[in-house]
C-alpha cells in the first residue's frame, strides 16, 4: 500500500502562524478557528495572491510553526516499515530545504519516517490525486468528493475547522489525531 501524508494541517499547524502574521500586519485578531473555509482569503478581503504571499513567507522560514501531534514520528516510522509512506505536499518545490529542516527538527527523517517527499503546486486543489496513492492523510476538503468516486482509494480527512462541513462516508474517514490515523490504517 502506498500512503501519502500531507504536511500542513496534518503535521504542522501552519494556520496558527498564518493568523499571527496576518494579525500583526493588518491589525486584526483572527484565530485558527476563524478559518472555516479552504479559500478564506475572500472572507478576509484579500485576493489569492496577497493571501499566498504570507504562505510563501512561512514556507521560506517554517521553524516557528507548531507541530500538531507528538505521536506522529513514531507512528510514521511504523507505517513506513510496513507500507510505503511518502510525504506529499502542495508546498511549492522551491522551499524544499526549509521544510526538510523543520521536519527533521521534529524527528521526521527521510528513509525512516518517510520514503520520498513529493512537493507539488497548490493548483488545482485536487492535484494530489494525479499521484497514484492508495491512501491519503490530508486536511484538504477539496479531496473528499473526488476520492468518493475513486473506490480503490481511501482518504483519512484530518479534522480541521476548514473541513468540518465535509461529509465523511464510504472511503472517506474523519480522524482527529495520529493515534486514529494508525488505527484506521491497521483496520483497513
Ligand atoms: Mg494540508
* Same-domain status, 82 and 174: yes
Measured in angstroms, how far is the CA atom of residue 5 from the centroid of ligand 1? Answer: 9
* Same-domain status, 158 and 169: yes
Phi, psi of 168 (to 5 degrees): -100, 115
Q: Residue 113 has what pLDDT?
A: 98
* Same-domain status, 147 and 88: yes
Range of the domain at 116: 2-12+67-187
Q: Residue 4 has what pLDDT?
A: 98
Q: How many separate domains does the chain show?
A: 2
Q: Residue 124 has what pLDDT?
A: 82
- Other Cβ atoms within 10 Å of 142 Cβ, number: 18
* Model confidence at 187: pLDDT above 80: yes
Measured in angstroms, how far is the CA atom of residue 140 from the centroid of ligand 1? Answer: 6
Measured in angstroms, how far is the CA atom of residue 74 from the centroid of ligand 1? Answer: 20
* Same-domain status, 112 and 54: no
* Same-domain status, 80 and 165: yes
pTM of the predicted protein model: 0.96
Measured in angstroms, how far is the CA atom of residue 54 from the centroid of ligand 1? Answer: 16
* Same-domain status, 110 and 178: yes
- Specify the long-range contacts of residues 153-161, CB closer than 8 Å, at least 24 apart: 153/129, 154/188, 156/180, 156/181, 156/184, 156/185, 158/6, 158/9, 158/10, 160/9, 160/15, 161/32, 161/33, 161/34, 161/35, 161/36
* Same-domain status, 53 and 113: no
Amino acid at each position: 500500500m502506498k500512503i501519502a501524508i500531507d504536511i500542513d494541517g496534518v503535521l504542522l499547524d501552519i494556520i496558527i502562524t498564518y493568523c499571527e502574521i496576518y494579525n500583526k500586519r493588518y491589525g486584526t485578531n483572527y484565530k485558527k478557528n476563524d478559518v472555516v473555509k479552504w479559500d478564506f482569503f475572500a472572507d478576509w478581503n484579500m485576493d489569492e495572491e496577497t493571501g499566498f504571499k504570507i504562505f510563501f513567507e512561512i514556507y521560506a522560514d517554517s521553524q516557528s510553526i507548531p507541530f500538531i501531534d507528538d505521536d506522529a514520528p513514531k507512528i510514521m516510522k511504523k507505517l513506513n516499515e510496513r507500507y510505503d509512506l511518502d510525504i506529499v505536499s502542495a508546498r511549492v518545490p522551491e522551499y524544499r530545504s526549509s521544510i526538510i529542516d523543520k521536519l527533521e527538527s521534529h524527528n521526521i527523517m527521510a528513509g525512516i519516517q518517510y520514503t520520498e517527499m513529493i512537493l507539488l503546486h497548490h493548483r488545482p486543489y485536487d492535484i494530489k490525486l494525479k499521484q497514484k496513492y492508495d491512501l491519503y492523510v490530508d486536511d484538504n476538503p477539496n479531496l473528499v468528493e473526488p476520492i468518493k468516486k475513486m473506490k480503490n482509494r481511501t482518504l483519512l480527512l484530518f479534522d480541521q475547522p476548514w473541513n468540518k462541513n465535509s461529509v465523511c462516508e464510504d472511503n472517506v474517514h474523519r480522524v482527529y489525531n495520529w493515534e486514529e490515523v494508525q488505527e484506521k490504517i491497521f483496520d483497513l
